[in-house]
């Protein structure tokens, strides 16, 4: 009985050591967005935009797609930088990937298009 318990405990311990892959690749998203929001300089904005672009192009997570809210944030940032059509397109991409965001994102789009 003790040998079976020891074998099960060993298997469970070894199984918990296996590294798991995350759903999404975040890169340095949190740091760059925090820095930009704390101090919205051109340098910080450029760093944030590079991170967002990297996230959109190189998703290595198990889902293979960007995280929820990504296109909403990226699209809004693009919109604020003067590329209005591209920003709206990215906001609509958020709805396509995450239909549960439709009500919220459509409100944002309607406000931007006024």
**Per-residue confidence in pLDDT tens, the chain, 114 aa:** 666 666 666 666 655 555 567 888 889 999 999 999 999 999 999 999 999 999 999 888 888 889 999 999 999 999 999 999 999 999 999 999 999 999 999 999 999 998
Give pLDDT, residue 43: 96
CA dist., res. 20 & res. 62, Å (int): 10
Q: Which two tokens stand for residue 99?
A: 């239909």
Give pLDDT, residue 99: 97
Give pLDDT, residue 12: 60
pTM tops 0.85, yes or no: no
Give pLDDT, residue 39: 96
The answer to whether 81 and 99 are in contact (CB under 8 A) is no
């Amino acid at each position: 009985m003790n040998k079976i318990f020891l074998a099960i405990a060993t298997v469970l311990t070894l199984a918990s050591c296996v590294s798991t892959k995350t759903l999404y690749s975040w890169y340095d998203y949190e740091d760059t967005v925090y820095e930009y929001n704390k101090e919205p300089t051109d340098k910080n904005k450029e760093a944030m935009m590079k991170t967002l672009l990297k996230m959109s192009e190189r998703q290595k997570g198990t889902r293979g797609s960007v995280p929820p809210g990504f296109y909403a944030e990226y699209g809004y940032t693009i919109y604020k930088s003067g590329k209005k059509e591209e920003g709206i397109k990215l906001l609509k991409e958020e709805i396509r990937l995450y239909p549960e965001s439709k009500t919220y994102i459509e409100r944002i789009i309607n406000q931007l298009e006024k």
